[in-house]
Amino acid sequence: MDRPQPRTRLQRLHRPRIQGTGGNRVQLGYPPARLAIVPTRTTTQTFSKGTTMNNVAVIGLGIMGLPMAINLVKAGHTVTGFNRSQDKIDKLVSEGGQGATSIADAVKDADVVITMVPDSPDVEGVVSGKDGVFANAKKGTLWIDASSIRPDVAKRLADDAKEAGIRPLDAPVSGGEQGAINAVLSIMVGGEAADFEAAQPVLTAVGKTIVHVGPSGSGQTVKAANQLIVAVNIQVLGEAIAFLEAYGVDTDAALKVLGGGLAGSKVLDQKGQKMLDRNFDPGFRLALHHKDLGIVTSAAREANVAVPLGAVVAQLVAATVNQGDGGLDHSGLFKQVLQLSGRK
């Protein structure tokens, strides 16, 4: 396999070849060096569903965290959940999990701790301090942060975790609520390769495409790129549907044929009908995508990378959120398209 070539300035993400048949395919690759990542030889490994059971603590039982915790229960792990709202804990218990009264209570006997909370300050609040994960988890515990946060914060917290004797992985996910429910999430993982391998029984219980993309912080960098691509796709899909509706085209038929060609995408498959139905029940809220696009535009500026489409869509998402629609699914960006077009 070819060795990625070092670049003198901004590095492009190495694209490892996908190998193997069946099961979960895990690729090891190493992305850009804004986080001081040095390209190394890329290897490919194949994992099957793990048989090792773990005591897993899940902190944050929201739209994504709760179905992930339930799937861990179904896979045979002992799962203890903690959330600020008791009803989510009760739901996990009804599915065979256990509830905790605090973060310290949740993590005290855990082999693996998963955090799934909204933003960088939330993660820091959960893991730091005398009541946090680092002060109360056992030495050697794996910490998997599935939240989407700033890459620099992920790197700093990984360093803090190591000082506390905790093994950190930043492992943000993509696939939305349905992907979490169906345990088919795409998971981009930053951290030590040995820790990534140790986490396989847990990661394979909640995801399908599980990729080690480099050292700590790399997972969050790749997730930021994911959110950039998704946001731009949602925006242009909304513009295309508004265009089709303006001409009185059979939009169901139009989306069907578009989905079968080069314009086809998962965004079209998952969000097109929601736009046609004006059904913006949240699978991933606009407020969170607004936060993620802030991460993208800030990180791009630091790396001296131009993201003109991303910047425009970030402003459109911000406008939609500021108009009170932050709680809608991110396909609700279509409302902004309709408003700018003078259409209902």
| 223 annotated active-site | yes
DSSP 183: T
The closest alpha carbon to 259, from 242, 240, 246, 277, belongs to 240
Distance of alpha carbon 142 from alpha carbon 133, whole angstroms? 11
List the catalytic residue out of 91, 223, 291, 335.
223
Q: Between β-strands 112-115 and 98-99, what pairing exists: parallel, antiparallel or unpaired?
A: unpaired
DSSP SS3 for 80: strand
Rounded distance, CA 159 to CA 138, Å? 17
Q: Are 46 and 17 in contact (CB under 8 A)?
A: no
Q: How far, in Å, are 39, 187, 191 from residue 155 at the CA level?
A: 18, 17, 9
**Residue of 291, 151, 126, 307 lying closest to 219 (CA atoms):** 151
**Which residues belong to the active site?**
223
